[in-house]
Structure 1
Amino acid sequence: MSDISQPSRQSTDYKLAESVGYLLGRVRSTMWNMVTQQTMAGLGITATQASIIFMLASGRSLVAADLAREYGIDASAVTRLVNRLEKRGLLVRERSNADRRMVKLALTAQGMVVAEQIPEIFTHVLDVLLTRFTPEEIGFLKSMLRRIMKNSEDCASATLPDISDSLTERDLANRI
């Protein structure tokens, strides 16, 4: 008798390639790999580093904790990313005058030059991925993605309902 367990009926009936979560993850991975190819070739940085530089340039995230929340990664990963960018001369850490405990991140002049090139790379990759989409389809896709984000924000402040209370087996197969 083998110690290897057999897959359950539920897992064998599950169509991974039809899963919204799987598809979203694959699209994100593909997009991020394409951006990294472009940013490495043109700027010598990864997609994540480019994204951090762009966030700082836009004023959206100015401290490491904001970046950790935005990307859903731990503070130590952000610290490593920031260290690499600082070593490359693209950003600096600055103590806040209002609160000496707070360390703000700021782009250097070289970092600003890099930041100005990033939107073109992001746009180029999206143009390739959205080839043969109509403007209406792109608008609809954005609308659906915004709704997903809104749903995640709404449930972030509340306790996620128990899965058995909200999903039947059929619902699970159709939604996930």
Structure 2
Amino acid sequence: MKPRLFHLVAQARQNLFRSADQVFSAELEVSGTQVVALFAIQSQEGCQLKDLTAQLQLKNSAITGLVGRMEDNGLIQRQPCEQDGRSTRLYLTDKGRAVVAQAKPVLARVNAQLTKGFTQDELAVVARFLHHAASIHFTTESPK
């Protein structure tokens, strides 16, 4: 019997995000989604909301709420975009940078738990599968 990969990936995603969110909330007092967003903003300091939306693959309304909460928590600040007066750019605050620094060892520990018991060759196959899964877009056509 073939493994039900879509179901397994969906279950894994749900469990990983729920578990990670509990760890980040308990240890950093920040949600897992906020940690992911902080890393994304750090990698593209000065990005616009549309850039963060694309990077996190969330809907506009979800990003708007997320950014608002992060700003309220003092993790980021918005500054007007010089090229487009209707838009803003996102920057980490000192508190946001501190959370990113504190999150790195937590992420290392989470990744160590996630990869425990797997060989490097097995992890390479898993990574290849996940990269593939992240890059495909399902169509309505049946595979030939």
Give the structure-2-normalised TM-score: 0.87
Match of 2:141 in 1: 162
Unaligned runs of 5+ in 2: none
Residue 30, structure 1, aligned to residue 15, structure 2: yes
Aligned counterpart in structure 1 of residue 98 of structure 2, from 109, 113, 123 = 113
CA contact (8 A) 2:80 2:88 kept: yes
Q: SS state of the match for residue 79, structure 2?
A: strand
Whole-angstrom CA distance in 2 between matches of 1:88 and 1:60? 18
Match of 1:47 in 2: 32
Shift of the 61–123 alpha-carbon distance from structure 1 to 2, 3 Å rule, reads farther
Unaligned runs of 5+ in 1: 1-14, 168-176
Q: SS state of the match for residue 18, structure 1?
A: coil
Partner deviation per Cα, 1:6-62 (whole Å, 9 max, x = no partner): xxxxxxxxx8x9311111111111111221111111111111111101111122782
Partner deviation per Cα, 1:52-90 (whole Å, 9 max, x = no partner): 011111227822222222333221111111111101111
Q: Alignment RMSD, CA only?
A: 2.2
Whole-angstrom CA distance in 2 between matches of 1:21 and 1:68? 24
Q: SS state of the match for residue 112, structure 2?
A: helix
Whole-angstrom CA distance in 2 between matches of 1:71 and 1:115? 16
Whole-angstrom CA distance in 2 between matches of 1:88 and 1:109? 12
Report deviation, 1:126: 2.0
Identity of paired residues, percent?
24
Partner deviation per Cα, 1:130-170 (whole Å, 9 max, x = no partner): 21001111112112222233334xx7xxxx3523xx26xxx
CA contact (8 A) 1:89 1:111 kept: yes
Match of 1:19 in 2: 4
Match of 2:51 in 1: 66
CA contact (8 A) 2:74 2:93 kept: yes
CA contact (8 A) 1:54 1:118 kept: no
Q: SS state of the match for residue 94, structure 1?
A: strand
